[in-house]
Every structure is written in structure tokens, then in C-alpha cells.
């Protein structure tokens, strides 16, 4: 029996998690996957109920489970200056479970190609994986705010040590070995010392992977190349903040941020979540695209539970639903049928056979 911790979080996190769980329930019926779910608090809702964005009960829950499914956290309600923020809960759970590698696969979905803002011939064949470092860099370095001589000042520090880089880079090389055997390491080594260390460690690790071709790219250039020639990329490996920014940008190659799932792996039980946030602009309106979260469940079945057929069945069901022309608003064109979050969930679970 697999033990899952479910952390819906805030805003559309709650709506998309609900649909993903319905799909999982259907997988259980069809594939006999036995699991139990326990729900926990994270983010803004956790602050409201316990004062902490990652309370002790949730820590205990996730430590004893096999995998975590998370919706999203955050929202305007918790954005007041000086108060604790929901996003801190997300950073804490990643650090607590030592989930240092975040995998964000982006592909051009055949039936969504016209929804992409890019020319069809540019995005055709796009299939890339961003391997983002998740527990280091500016998100976790020394930081602070102070007033000195009447001038307010703030700082965040990008910090990395060789161990943090090496363990992440190894994962990226291993994953590239299972794909098209090409890695682009993205840094800012023309300016930053952390990037120079990054590049050195990547070079050292590359010697153990002679079958994989490696190139280095500066992050500003990479942002441009993701638009101008996205099909060149197989695996992109990069530090935390670069990966955060580049993955939202690259998600558009797959038509929408609402299509981008993610898996965070490392030492503790892996965590699966859509790459998007709580989308306060559409929360509570049955408008959110649940497919990123549904596809995150497929990643969970494949990576944590090695249930490859069940994972494939979900991905195939998503493809069929898209083929049938069902679309949430973020991926809709006038020739398609616009459906809400629940109806999209219904449609996917009908196709799981
Ligand atoms: P966001 O990802 O929530 O939304 C960006 C835009 O994309 C919005 O227009 C939104 O409507 C749209 N969008 C996102 N997901 C969608 C979906 N599934 N279907 C349809 N449209 C979708 O980013 P934001 O607006 O910058 O941030 C909102 C809040 O979410 C903030 O508090 C932020 O900190 C938080 N956030 C949380 C996570 C997370 O929990 N992993 C990730 C990113 C942002
Ligand atoms: C993400 C989000 C988070 C991040 C925020 C909400 C802390 O943007 O998961 O991509 O920057 O990692
Ligand atoms: Mn992000």
C-alpha cells in the first residue's frame, strides 16, 4: 500500500489537486494501484490555521509517506509586508525533504501546436527537460534587510558548494543518458563566481559520461534560444533561480504553464506539483487547467512507484482529450470546446482504460 500525502495549498491548488486525485482514483480501479491518502496543510491556509506555512503536523505527515502531491501556495491575502509568507512553506518542505532536483519536462503537444504563440515549425518536436537545482542558490543563501545611515538596504546571496552542484549534475547526466544524450548547462559564468564553480563541476562530472554531449550557455542567451531554436534542447541543467525563470518561459512551448508538471527528487519522499502557482486571478472560478497536476501524478506513478503502464495511461488519456478538442481557457482557440476544471478532470478520467 502506497502512502501519499496530499497538500492542496491555496487558490487553484485546491481545484487542480481535486481533479488529479479523481484521476488517481480511476487509475486505482483500472490498474489496481493500492494507495492511501492523508491530507495536510501548507502555505496560506496553514498560516491561517496554525500560524506556520509548514506546520509540524505536515512535517510528520510527509516524513512517513512514500510521495507528496502538492497543489500550489500563495495569494494576495498573505502578501502583507513583514508577515510570514506561504511561499516559505514551499521552500521549507523542499529543504526538509532534501529535494534538491526539480524535473520540469516540456513538450510540444501535437494537438496544442496551434495554441502556441510560436510558429508551428519552431515548436514541432520540442521535448526538453529542465533539471533545476532546488535547495540552494539565492533562495537559501544569506539574506537580510537593514537601515544604515537612514538608507534601507536588502540583500540575497547566491551560494553554492561543490557537493550541492555535483549531486544535481549527476542526476541531470543520468537523465540525459535515458533521453537524447545532450546536456546544456546554463549559467552566468562570465560574471558570477557561483557560475564559475558550477561550470567547473559540470566539466568534471562530464568526464564520467563520454556518451553525452555537453554545451554551456549563458542564461541570457538561453532565454533567447528557448524562443529562437527550442528544439535544440534535450536536458537543461541549471541553478535554482535561473531554472525557476526559464521553466515558466519554456512552458509556453507546450502551449501553457497549465500544462507543465514537475517532480522534485532527492533524499526524502519525492514531491510532485504543477510548476504553476495559485493563480489568484482565476481561483475559485472552475477555470484552472488541471492537466499540469494530472501529469504530475503520472510522473509520480513512473518515478516513485515504477508503475509505467498506469503513468502512460494518464498521459495517453490527456492526449486523447486534447485530440477531442476539449480545452480549458488557457489553451483554448475558437474552434475548440471550452471546458472548466471539473469537466476537464471528467474527460481525462473517462479516457483511462
Ligand atoms: P501563477 O503561476 O499562479 O499564475 C501566472 C499566470 O498563469 C496567471 O495569469 C494564471 O491565471 C495563469 N495560470 C497559472 N496556472 C494556471 C492553470 N493551471 N490554468 C490556467 N491558467 C493558469 O503565478 P503568479 O500569478 O506569479 O503567482 C500567484 C501566486 O502563486 C503567488 O503567491 C506566487 O508566489 C505563487 N506561486 C506558487 C507556486 C507554487 O506553489 N509552486 C508557483 C508559482 C507561484
Ligand atoms: C515554483 C515557484 C516557487 C519557486 C515560489 C512560489 C517559491 O515559483 O515552484 O516555481 O520560486 O520555486
Ligand atoms: Mn516558479
pLDDT tens digits along 223-242: 999 999 999 999 999 999 99
Confidence at residue 42, expressed as pLDDT on a 0 to 100 scale: 98
Kindly state whether residue 17 falls inside one of the protein's structural domains: yes
**Residue nearest (by alpha carbon) to ligand 2 atom 12:** 244
Domain identity same for 246 and 267 = no
The distance of Cα 235 from the centroid of its chain, to the nearest Å, equals 15
Nearest CA to ligand 2 atom 4: 244
Q: Are residues 121 and 234 in the same domain?
A: yes
Model's pTM, two decimal places?
Answer: 0.98
C-alpha cell at 247: 521553466
In this prediction, residue 211 carries a pLDDT of: 98
| Ligand 1 within 6 A of CB of 257 | yes
- Give Cα separations from 139 to 213, 237, 241 (angstroms): 30, 17, 7
pLDDT at residue 82, as a whole number: 83
Active site residues: 139, 188, 220, 244, 248
CA of 277 to the centre of ligand 1 (A): 3
Which atom number of ligand 2 is nearest to the Cα of residue 247? 10
Determine the Cα–Cα distance for residues 206 and 15; give it in Å rounded to an integer.
42
In the prediction, which pLDDT does 81 show?
81
Which ligand is nearest the CA of 13, by number? 1
- Same domain membership, residue 125 and residue 52: no
Residues 225 and 287 both lie in one domain: no
Would you give the DSSP letter of residue 128? E
90 lines ligand 2 (CB under 6 A): yes
Domain boundary among 220, 254, 288: 254
What is the model's pLDDT at position 49? Answer: 98
* Pocket of ligand 1 contains residue 288 by CB under 6 Å: yes
In a domain, 105, yes or no: no
Range of the domain at 34: 1-99+261-353
Q: Any bridge partners for residue 273, and if so which?
A: 262
Tell whether ligand 1 has an atom less than 6 A from the beta carbon of residue 90: yes
Same domain, 286 and 234: no
Task: Give tens-digit pLDDT for 246-255.
Answer: 999 999 999 9
Three-class SS of 163-222: HHHHHHHHHHHHHHHCCCCEEEEEECCCCCHHHHHHHHHHHHHHCCCCCCEEEEEEHHHH
Could you give the number of structural domains in the chain? 2
Does the beta carbon of 177 lie inside 6 Å of ligand 1? no
Same domain, 306 and 208: no
Please list all protein residues whose beta carbon sits less than 5 angstroms from ligand 3, which is an ion.
Answer: 244
For ligand 2, what atom is nearest to the CA of residue 248? 10
**Which segments of the chain have a pLDDT < 70?**
none
134 CA closest ligand 2 atom index: 12
Which of 254, 283, 315 delimits the end of a domain? 254
What's the grid cell of residue 244?
525557476
244 lines ligand 2 (CB under 6 A): yes
Q: How many angstroms is it from 196 CA to the middle of ligand 1?
A: 32
CA 344 to chain centre: 20
Ligand 2 midpoint to CA 335 (Å): 34
Q: Atom 5 (ligand 2): residue with closest C-alpha?
A: 87
Closest CA to 167 of 200, 199, 201, 140: 201
Q: How far apart are CA 304 and CA 159, in angstroms?
A: 30
Q: What is the mean pLDDT of the chain?
A: 97
Q: Is residue 110 part of a domain?
A: no
Amino acid at each position: 500500500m502506497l502512502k501519499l500525502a496530499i497538500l492542496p495549498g491555496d487558490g487553484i491548488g485546491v481545484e487542480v489537486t481535486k481533479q488529479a486525485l479523481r484521476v488517481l482514483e480511476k487509475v486505482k480501479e483500472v490498474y489496481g494501484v493500492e494507495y492511501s491518502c492523508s491530507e495536510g496543510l501548507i502555505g496560506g491556509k496553514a498560516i491561517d490555521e496554525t500560524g506556520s506555512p509548514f506546520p509540524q503536523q505536515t512535517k510528520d505527515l510527509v516524513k512517513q509517506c512514500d510521495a507528496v502531491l502538492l497543489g500550489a501556495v500563495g495569494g494576495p491575502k498573505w502578501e502583507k509586508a513583514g508577515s510570514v509568507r506561504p511561499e516559505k512553506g514551499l521552500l521549507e518542505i523542499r529543504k526538509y525533504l532534501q529535494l534538491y532536483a526539480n524535473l520540469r519536462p516540456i513538450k510540444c503537444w501535437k494537438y496544442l501546436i496551434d495554441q502556441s504563440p510560436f510558429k508551428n515549425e519552431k515548436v514541432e518536436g520540442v521535448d526538453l527537460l529542465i533539471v533545476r537545482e532546488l535547495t540552494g542558490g539565492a533562495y537559501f543563501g544569506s539574506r537580510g534587510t537593514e537601515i544604515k545611515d537612514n538608507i534601507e538596504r536588502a540583500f540575497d546571496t547566491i551560494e553554492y558548494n561543490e557537493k550541492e552542484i555535483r549531486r544535481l549534475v549527476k542526476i541531470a547526466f543520468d537523465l540525459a543518458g535515458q533521453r537524447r544524450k545532450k546536456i546544456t548547462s546554463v549559467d552566468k559564468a562570465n560574471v558570477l563566481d557561483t557560475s564559475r564553480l558550477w561550470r567547473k563541476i559540470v566539466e568534471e562530472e562530464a568526464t564520467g559520461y563520454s556518451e553525452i554531449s555537453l554545451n554551456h550557455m549563458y542564461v541570457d542567451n538561453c532565454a533567447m534560444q528557448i524562443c529562437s531554436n527550442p528544439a535544440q534542447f534535450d536536458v537543461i541543467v541549471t541553478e535554482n533561480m535561473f531554472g525557476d525563470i526559464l521553466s515558466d518561459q519554456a512552458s509556453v512551448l507546450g502551449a501553457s504553464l497549465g500544462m507543465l508538471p514537475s517532480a522534485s527528487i532527492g533524499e526524502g519522499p519525492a514531491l510532485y506539483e504543477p510548476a504553476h502557482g495559485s493563480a489568484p486571478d482565476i481561483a475559485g472560478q472552475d477555470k484552472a487547467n488541471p492537466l499540469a497536476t494530472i501529469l504530475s501524478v503520472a510522473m509520480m506513478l513512473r518515478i516513485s512507484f515504477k508503475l509505467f503502464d498506469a503513468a502512460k495511461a494518464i498521459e495517453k488519456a490527456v492526449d486523447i482529450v486534447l485530440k477531442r478538442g476539449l480545452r480549458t481557457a488557457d489553451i483554448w482557440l475558437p474552434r475548440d470546446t471550452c471546458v472548466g476544471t471539473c469537466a476537464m478532470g471528467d474527460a481525462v478520467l473517462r479516457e483511462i482504460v
